A and B are shown apart, each in its own frame.
Chain A
Amino acid sequence: MDRGDGRERMSDVTSERHWTELFAATEADRAGEPGWLGSLRKTAIARFAEQGFPTRRDEDWRYTNPAPIAKVAWRPAPEAEVSHEALGAFALPLADGPCIVFVNGRHAPALSAADGDPQVVVASFGALLRGDAAPLERALAAEAAGADGAFPLLARAFARDGAWVHVGRDHAADRPISLVFVSVPGAAPSAAHPRFVVTAAPGSRAAVHEIHLTVGAGAQLSNALGELIAGDNAQLSHVKLVHAGAEAVHLAKTRLRVLRDARIASTLISLGARIARHDVEAVLEAEGAECALDGLYVATDGSHVDVRTLVDHRRPHGTSRELVKGVLAGKSRGIFNGKIVVREGAQKTNAQQKNENLLLTRDAEVNSKPQLEIEADDVKCSHGSTIGQLDADAIFYLRSRGIGEREAAALLTQAFAAQVVETIESEALRERVLALAQDRIFASGAGGVRS
């Protein structure tokens, strides 16, 4: 081992050892935690040490090389302050309902707001640990039972805090619940692990806005792990918005559990990060479960986005519909991997999947890979994928009416994205998402729209 050169040392700690050492070194920070949480963390780090980071040889990581992420000696994200103004600058409708904010993994009560609905609990894990921790213990133990990759294991081991949402039985929560995870990069590359558990009790209805933002510049890893559970007959709508910095790495594992006759509609809007990887697993666990996944990923110059979805039909009469669209500008790369599994006995399943991509430049690249694994015989499954460019005749038509070339491209791109954005129920969020997406694609100047 060459210890003489700083760069060498950096790649030395690549890897697993950096994290296991970090786990040992941060033991004292977790001193006050209950034993069950400590053992969940220990199990996770042990499993991580055992399985290690994936490599490009793993089929799941063929197109997103994990090495550039794995080799960085990410430090725990430092404590940081975010002002109301800095958060307000994103102009997101956070005040439309209860809102819980985390900054670099720490709960920020000053930025959070309750809305007084006693049937809707929105709390930090930390607050639960100070009171009745039994529901959290059950939820995290159940979550940890799932087999998971290296990054979710790190989130289990290291997450300092998390968002807890519980909507009471047969209760309709009128206002959207916002979970906001803010990254404030430090001087050195640092990592935070946003976590959340959302439970909609049987017969309830709620809308959750999961929002990831970067304030400031610098390398930061946001390694998210979240779970949404719709109990029998419950209806959950979920929007995930990622608006991260140009040097940010966003990795996420999101599990959606849909129980009997329940429905989860989840819309993913990925507008940034140098590397973004979204791993969405929807499990239709009981009969009559329904799931709608919509997604829009935008990759601008120099960025890479990887969306993986697994829709797992386990029981009969499940329905899933999926539409994921990609807009790729500049020199960027997009990956879509959509898998549908229909298990033995999951008869009368109806599963549809579509992936559509719009390449705005010659340098943009996309890989789209649908996968079907069907073990039942009485099912309806379809999938399709397209890759295209802006229609030159349409651009000319718009320009011939006085609309500028950029505006014409923006208008057509917006039309392409609209189908996904329109699935966002909150009008305020929908409009803001459209504006943010346009800014990301066209205001950067790096977009380099083909003429």
Chain B
Amino acid sequence: MTTPMLEIRGLHATAGETLILKGIDLVLMPGEVHAVMGPNGSGKSTLANVLAGKPGYAVVQGQVLYEGRDLTAMAPEERARAGVFLAFQYPVEIPGVSNFYFLKQAVNAVRAHRGLEELDAMEFLTLAREKMKLVEMSDKLMQRSLNEGFSGGEKKRNEVLQMALLDPKLAVLDETDSGLDIDALRVLADGVNALRGPERSMLVITHYQRLLEHIVPDRVHVLSGGRIVKSGGKELAHELEEKGYGWIAETAASA
């Protein structure tokens, strides 16, 4: 039997002092794309942060296995090198560190872990140019400080560019579609779709069903109050869009 890419069992997690995730079960097989939807504050980003290993978020019960290994025992950078990627809902601005230099360091850190040779500036530029086409990103963003003064859309492009460059096995996209107009959304969705493959799994967190028309998920999970209250096929996203989250709260209560 194939090992799941990600296996979450009975996950309870705290953010700071507060228990936010109250029992999550989710199995993501290689090549699968699952969507996670849910109202504001339902714990979507908390789940993403727990998967990426953000300090301040602690697993208090249950387990998270990545390719059968205990993910929670790994430092954030080890997870990244092992192929876990989080596209941030709010990418951080870092003045004084050029985007180009940052991306090169990140790519080389991951390559070193995979036993590949370091890329020099020229080699990296060639690789970066190729991946930048995927998200229609302009050269000038490479020389700027990382995310500093980037528009919302530029930041999200930069996240997907990083995903393309780091070539992860498990990508978690936290509201990569929020704040984008429909054209930008299409570009990013095309970029993400181009990265779909039998070896890569994705967890796509979103508020909007419109993203899922472009990135068609294998399954949809609805998160509410720190629990997955409903799971289903892609049609669940439509149903949600029509009936709203109130409907979920009712079904969850009557279940």
A residues at B contact (CB < 8 Å): 391-394, 396-405, 407-408, 411-412, 414-416, 418-419, 451
Contacts and interface: CB of A to CB of B under 8 A. Distances in A.
A398 B55 CA distance: 13
Contact of B95 (A396, A397, A405, A415): A415
A402 B86 contact: no
B54 A403 contact: no
A403 B109 contact: yes
B77 A403 contact: yes
Contacts of B189: none
A403 B105 contact: yes
Interface of B: 52-55, 75-77, 79-81, 85-86, 88, 91-92, 94-97, 102, 105-106, 109-110, 113, 162, 166
B105 A407 contact: yes
Contact of A402 (B80, B88, B92, B94): B80
A451 B52 CA distance: 17
A405 B81 CA distance: 13
B55 A419 contact: no
Given A394-B94, A412-B97, A415-B94, A400 B80 contact: yes
A396 B96 contact: no
Contacts of A415: 94-97
Q: Is the interface of A mostly helix, strand, loop or mixed?
A: helix
B80 A397 contact: no
Contacts of B162: 401
Nearest to B95: A415
B155 to A, nearest CB: 11
A165 B52 CA distance: 58
B86 A400 contact: yes
Which of B77, B86, B88, B162 has most chain A Cβ within 10 Å?
B77
B77 A405 contact: yes
Max chain B C-beta neighbours (<10 A), residue from A394, A397, A402, A418: A402
A418 B81 CA distance: 28
A393 B96 CA distance: 15
Contacts of B166: 401-402
A404 B110 CA distance: 10
A402 B109 contact: yes
A402 B97 contact: no
B76 A396 contact: yes
Query: Which are the 10 A-B pairs with shortest beta-carbon distances?
Result: A415-B96, A402-B109, A401-B106, A402-B80, A399-B76, A397-B92, A402-B110, A399-B77, A415-B97, A402-B81
Contacts of A398: 94, 102, 106
B143 to A, nearest CB: 14
Most A CB within 10 A of own CB, among B79, B80, B162 = B80
Nearest to B105: A403
Contacts of B105: 403, 407, 411
A401 B109 contact: yes
A396 B110 contact: no
Given A402-B81, A402-B166, A415-B96, A397 B88 contact: yes
A355 B79 CA distance: 38
A410 to B, nearest CB: 10
A400 B96 contact: no
A392 B55 CA distance: 9
B52 to A, nearest CB: 5
A405 B92 CA distance: 16
Contacts of A411: 97, 102, 105
B107 to A, nearest CB: 8
Nearest to A397: B92
28 contacts: A393-B92, A394-B92, A394-B94, A396-B54, A396-B92, A397-B92, A398-B94, A399-B77, A400-B52, A400-B76, A400-B80, A401-B77, A401-B102, A401-B162, A401-B166, A402-B77, A402-B81, A402-B109, A402-B110, A403-B77, A404-B109, A411-B102, A411-B105, A412-B94, A412-B97, A414-B97, A415-B94, A418-B96
Contacts of B96: 412, 414-416, 418-419
Most chain A Cβ neighbours within 10 Å, of B81, B86, B97, B110: B97
Contacts of A396: 52, 54-55, 76, 92
A403 B104 CA distance: 10
A412 B97 CA distance: 7
Contacts of A412: 94, 96-97
Contact of B106 (A393, A394, A402): A402
A74 B92 CA distance: 52
Given A391-B94, A399-B76, A405-B77, 13 more contacts: A391-B92, A396-B54, A397-B91, A399-B75, A400-B88, A402-B80, A402-B106, A402-B113, A403-B105, A412-B94, A415-B94, A415-B97, A451-B55
Given A394-B92, A396-B54, A411-B105, A404 B97 contact: no
A412 B146 CA distance: 11
A296 to B, nearest CB: 13
Contacts of A416: 96
B220 to A, nearest CB: 25
A47 to B, nearest CB: 46
Contacts of A418: 96
A415 B148 CA distance: 13
A26 to B, nearest CB: 50
A451 B113 CA distance: 22
Given A404-B109, A411-B105, A399 B95 contact: no
A397 B109 CA distance: 14
Nearest to A411: B97
B32 to A, nearest CB: 22
Given A407-B105, A411-B105, A401 B94 contact: no
Given A392-B55, A396-B55, A397-B88, A403 B94 contact: no
A393 B86 CA distance: 14
Contacts of A400: 52-54, 76-77, 79-80, 85-86, 88
Contact of A401 (B53, B55, B80, B95): B80
B219 to A, nearest CB: 25
Contact of A404 (B55, B77, B79): B77
A414 B105 CA distance: 14
A332 B106 CA distance: 31
A396 B76 CA distance: 8
Contacts of A414: 96-97
A451 B53 CA distance: 14
Contacts of B52: 396, 400
B118 to A, nearest CB: 13
